A and B are shown apart, each in its own frame.
Chain A
Amino acid sequence: MECSLDCESRVTIKVEGLSYRYNSASALDGLTFEVERGELVGLVGPNGSGKTTLLKCLSRVLTPCSGAILLDGRDISKMSLLEVARICASVPSEFSADVNLPVVDAVLLGRHPHVRGVWWEDERDEEVAMRAIERMKISDFARRRLGELSSGEKQRVMLAKALAQEAKVLLVDEPVAYLDIRYQLEIMEILRTLADDGVTVIAAMHQLSLAARYCDKLIVLKKGRIVACGKPEEVICEELIEDVYGVKAFVQKLPSVGLVVIPVATVDGGGVR
């Protein structure tokens, strides 16, 4: 009895039979999975496999055609946008923000769902935002404007914004896409720490080695369906990569690094196309 209660409360996200169609093309086809509190989940799969669409459904930017998404047992389609925003923060892979927006202001915008006054953020709001800025190491250019930043810097600003949102669930689309290898590791370490602190993180990723090393669980998508789901070392293997990506890959578990995936050659007839 106690165990079942415990297990129930550990689930933060429950997705049941989720489907989404863009006009006539099916993008997500009956996804069902669960994510536990404090898990770092990697969402992998080729371009067009539905990773971003899934993240958008989870943050309610898109409304699924069928199926349900439960956040802590509550159906998100029955929650207000503001309620979802307090629980769930998202970091897009690319976005077109106003070029004149100062970095500090962008991070402070993360407080939007929480601000109690009509106009101004209070001291606590600002404190949270400043901590997020320090944590993402962007204080050097906190006074600059978004239009003056590189894509990598912008990505860190958006992550800081999401941290400022103090969400229990963090949805990140390609968190390391524009970053050099040092920042890739730093970002993954930050996501890892967040997950260890109890934040549930779902990250769509292309870097399989990084995903395998840092994530608790991988969900592998192909053409809008889940083909594999589980611990990285159980999921990632040469056959799966050939099936999903159409790529011959070299996969090995090295003692000091963990799983290493090196793509070697494309295979005709494989992949999404």
Chain B
Amino acid sequence: MSVVKRKVILLVALSFAGLLVLSVLSMSSLVFGAKEASLWEVAASLNRLLLFGWPIGNYLPLPSCVDLSLDSILYYSRIPRTIVAVLIGSGLAASGAIMQAIARNPLVDPYISGVSSGAALGAVLSLLTSWFTGVAQMISLPLAAFAGGLTAFTLTFLIYRASGETPLSFVLGGVIVGVAFTSLTTLLIVTSDKELHGVLFWVFGSVAYASWDNVWVLAPIIVSLTLACLLFARDLNVFLLGDEQAVQMGVNVKLFRRGMMVVAALMASSCVAFTGIIGFVGLVVPHIVRLALGSDHRLLLPLSSIFGANLLLAADIIARIAMKPIELPVGVITSFIGVPFFAYLLIRRGKRYGM
């Protein structure tokens, strides 16, 4: 079979499978939580919500035995939470895939490159200063996070440049920047008299506070940026042969790298702005796809998006039910998955990546 046809079929089949699993996970995400409910009860509630919208009671003379508390929980908490988890998971994974391509380093993701920590600092600063409120804040929050994330990414790149441009120096640069920014964030939150979600939320991330407002801001950002990146998938492929070959194949490397850097930072930062730092999704997912299917970004980017959404949603469900009734921050779960994976990469593949 022709190489290209094989790829198209792989892409379609795996996307379909991934979306199928995603819908099963989404349903589970609606079912699991502090309030016990059966699948049928949830389905009935969903049906009511879809048919009549929210709030239901205003429009419909329902028999008093129908309990609307589940509808309310679904509407205000579990549905936006599920959607945000899907958006964040796919955004972080796509951002990680792009960072790995432009840094030409498989050990990079939004967390390791320090972008997440920078974005968290930006977000916390914006919340503390509270120059903006209401809708303006929903917009200014991701912008502030983006400024922080891009600053962190630039600093990491500068350290990387100055320290010999080895793959490991990028990782170490990111660690340095990450620690610095996280310390600043912690300092700000601890010394502030304002009530924020708390250090734990920002450092280990959580989708527990997700709201419809978050959905309306995140969805257009993540969807449009992912589509934009998909347009450049072929150019990202040329980077796989190295910078000089990329120039020689007609890509304006400097411009392209900067543009992609901004896009990756923007995507990761807007995720962090609403859910805090959730690590390793951007590392694990693209890497597994790459090991299984090779490095073609036309497969890597869309499939990373889909499987990233799956991973984060699954992690969030685990976070909810693992230590019931206590809810764990989802970042703890992704770290439990990501840390051994990172160690494995370093030990088994470190030599091959020239470390």
- In the bound complex, do residue A126 and residue B4 qualify as a contact, i.e. CB atoms below 8 Å apart? yes
Interface size on B, residues (CB 8 A): 31
Closest residue of A by beta carbon distance from B251: A81
Residue B54 lies at the interface, judged by CB distance under 8 Å to chain A: no
Instruction: Please measure, in the bound complex, the distance between the C-alpha atom of A112 and the C-alpha atom of B248, giving whole angstroms.
Output: 11
CB neighbours of B352 from chain A (8 A):
99, 147
The contact of A145 among B3, B242, B294, B353, by CB within 8 Å, is: B294
CB neighbours of A97 from chain B (8 A):
240-242, 245
- In the bound complex, do residue B242 and residue A96 qualify as a contact, i.e. CB atoms below 8 Å apart? yes
- In the bound complex, do residue B250 and residue A92 qualify as a contact, i.e. CB atoms below 8 Å apart? no
Instruction: Please measure, in the bound complex, the distance between the C-alpha atom of A149 and the C-alpha atom of B341, giving whole angstroms.
Output: 25
CB neighbours of B233 from chain A (8 A):
119
B residues engaging A (CB < 8 A)? 2-4, 7-8, 104, 231, 233-234, 237-238, 240-242, 244-245, 247-252, 290-291, 294-296, 298, 352-354
Q: List 11 A-B contacts (CB under 8 A).
A: A61-B248, A96-B104, A97-B245, A100-B294, A102-B294, A104-B3, A109-B237, A109-B249, A112-B237, A112-B250, A161-B241
CB neighbours of B290 from chain A (8 A):
100
Residue A195 lies at the interface, judged by CB distance under 8 Å to chain B: no
The contact of B3 among A113, A119, A126, by CB within 8 Å, is: A126
- In the bound complex, do residue A120 and residue B4 qualify as a contact, i.e. CB atoms below 8 Å apart? yes
Encoded as 1 (CB less than 8 Å from any B CB) or 0, chain A from 76 to 118 comes to 0000111111101110100111111110111011101101001
Instruction: Please measure, in the bound complex, the distance between the C-alpha atom of A126 and the C-alpha atom of B335, giving whole angstroms.
Output: 42
- In the bound complex, do residue B240 and residue A101 qualify as a contact, i.e. CB atoms below 8 Å apart? yes
- In the bound complex, do residue B242 and residue A115 qualify as a contact, i.e. CB atoms below 8 Å apart? no
A residues engaging B (CB < 8 A)? 56, 59-61, 80-86, 88-90, 92, 95-102, 104-106, 108-110, 112-113, 115, 118-123, 125-126, 145, 147, 161, 165
- In the bound complex, do residue B250 and residue A95 qualify as a contact, i.e. CB atoms below 8 Å apart? no
The contact of B250 among A84, A105, A106, by CB within 8 Å, is: A84
- In the bound complex, do residue A95 and residue B353 qualify as a contact, i.e. CB atoms below 8 Å apart? no
Instruction: Please measure, in the bound complex, the distance between the C-alpha atom of A119 and the C-alpha atom of B295, giving whole angstroms.
Output: 15
The contact of B104 among A83, A98, A108, A113, by CB within 8 Å, is: A98
CB neighbours of B247 from chain A (8 A):
59-61, 81
Given the interface pairs A99-B353, A100-B294, the reply to whether A120 lies near B237 with Cβ below 8 Å is no
- In the bound complex, do residue A119 and residue B291 qualify as a contact, i.e. CB atoms below 8 Å apart? no
Closest residue of B by beta carbon distance from A145: B294
Closest residue of A by beta carbon distance from B243: A61
Closest residue of B by beta carbon distance from A56: B244
Nearest chain A CB to B239's CB is how many angstroms away?
A: 8
Closest residue of A by beta carbon distance from B298: A119
- In the bound complex, do residue A89 and residue B4 qualify as a contact, i.e. CB atoms below 8 Å apart? no
Given the interface pairs A95-B241, A100-B294, the reply to whether A113 lies near B231 with Cβ below 8 Å is no
Closest residue of A by beta carbon distance from B353: A99
Nearest chain A CB to B126's CB is how many angstroms away?
A: 37
